[in-house]
Amino acid sequence: MPESKNQILEFTKEPLAGANLTNLLRLCAQNRFRIGWRYLPRFLYTLLMCSVMGPFRVAERLRWDRAIGDTAIEHPPLFILGHWRSGTTYLHNLLSQDPRLGYFTTFQAYIPGLFLTGEKMFKPLVAASIPKQRPMDGVAMGADLPQEDQYAMGAFTPFSYYHGWCFPRRMDAYYRGVFLGGQSTAVQREWKRVYVYLLKKATLACGGRRLVLKNQDNTVHIPQLLHLFPGARFVHIHRHPYQVYASMMKFLRIAVPLYCLQNPPPEEVLEEKMMDFYARFFRQYLEDRALIPAGHLVEMDYRDFIQQPLEEVRRLYSQLSLPGYEGAQPRFREYLESQFDFRPDAYELDEDTRERIYGRWRLVFDAYGYQP
């Protein structure tokens, strides 16, 4: 994977800088403390930030853990499912305009151990460390804007897809770890305990509103989520595999060099691992979606969502029996107007690449009627 000098010297974008110190050390131990020498400044920055924030995390737990434990998640969450680069962020940002819904902000997701008491001290740090736009697609970023809770889980546990980018030597292990059904009872128990804790904390922070949550890992966590929240609602957004492939490769070229603490593998290796993961990801989802009760799942085609977003969101509210669409519609419309000049990237793939994608990901073409 080719890296620019700017990418190698960049260290403030490392997501583990907001992790619990114990979790950072746990991840380092899993990797036998093998840190690439080029990434020592990034690692030292991450270690420093985790250490400095440690006492504040302890203070927050002492102050708030009882209240968090007593918090009831009265409204089952709305989970946004889908593979990376499939429109999940756009959908999440739009739905978060509904004042009835709560969500993890970027500040809360990046520093989940401190967001109840550390806003004045640490929120400016998060705001300064993130770009105004995501480098892979130009989508706006901000400390108060919606963010995927996968970063919060990654800060507390080793159970995150993104850890495979931070520690690419064990990328296969972290990718396998996303599939909880194949993990030990102890791992599943820890995942459930931490996830419920984080969702209760977010619920407390947003005043008890229903959470709308975007976490791509959750696409293969349906049995676990239904066990925790039998009344949960789900929306799965999917996109043509050719577009996902091209966008993922662009994403990997930009994000992996910014996250890694070890030398990233060659681009063709990253591509192979991504393609394997995608195939397993959809096999698992297509098998598990039958577990979701009728009226609790909406599937959405990215093309339809881009072309008629209000109509698709109206359908989502109607089919999932969610209240509040009419009241939120002006906010939805205002947000969409603010995005009027946004255009998704256009991609061109050669014939050999298209044939290879179709051969590896045919189950998705067949499941959703995409043409090769």
pLDDT digits (tens, 9 = 90+) for 209-257: 999 999 999 999 999 999 999 999 999 999 999 999 999 999 999 999 9
Asked whether the predicted pLDDT for residue 186 surpasses 90, the reply is: yes
pLDDT digits (tens, 9 = 90+) for 338-359: 987 766 677 889 999 999 999 9
Averaged over 119-129, what is the pLDDT?
Answer: 89
User: Which percentage of the chain shows pLDDT scores above 90?
Assistant: 87
Asked whether the predicted pLDDT for residue 317 surpasses 70, the reply is: yes
HEC sequence for 301-364: EHHHHHHCHHHHHHHHHHHCCCCCHHHHHHHHHHHHHHCCCCCCCCCCCCHHHHHHHHHHCHHH
Query: DSSP 3-state assignment of 81?
Result: strand
Alpha carbon of residue 209 to chain centroid: 20
The pLDDT, as a whole number, for residue 1 is 58
The pLDDT, as a whole number, for residue 286 is 98
Averaged over 19-39, what is the pLDDT?
Answer: 96
The single residue listed with the structure tokens 């620019």 is: 4
Asked whether the predicted pLDDT for residue 9 surpasses 80, the reply is: no
Domain count of the fold of the chain = 1
Query: DSSP 3-state assignment of 148?
Result: coil
Asked whether the predicted pLDDT for residue 13 surpasses 90, the reply is: no
**Enclosing domain of residue 23:** 5-368
Start-to-end CA distance of the chain, whole Å, equals 28
Asked whether the predicted pLDDT for residue 5 surpasses 70, the reply is: no
Q: 317 — phi, psi (to 5°)?
A: -60, -40
Averaged over 265-293, what is the pLDDT?
Answer: 97
* CATH number where 303 lies: 3.40.50.300
The pLDDT, as a whole number, for residue 348 is 87
Residue type, 81: L
Which of 38-52, 58-72, 134-148, 219-233 has the weakest average pLDDT? 134-148
Averaged over 14-26, what is the pLDDT?
Answer: 96
Averaged over 116-120, what is the pLDDT?
Answer: 92
Asked whether the predicted pLDDT for residue 136 surpasses 70, the reply is: no
The pLDDT, as a whole number, for residue 340 is 74
Mean pLDDT across the chain, nearest whole number? Answer: 94
The pLDDT, as a whole number, for residue 131 is 76
Q: CA–CA separation, 221 vs 6, rounded Å?
A: 36
The pLDDT, as a whole number, for residue 137 is 66
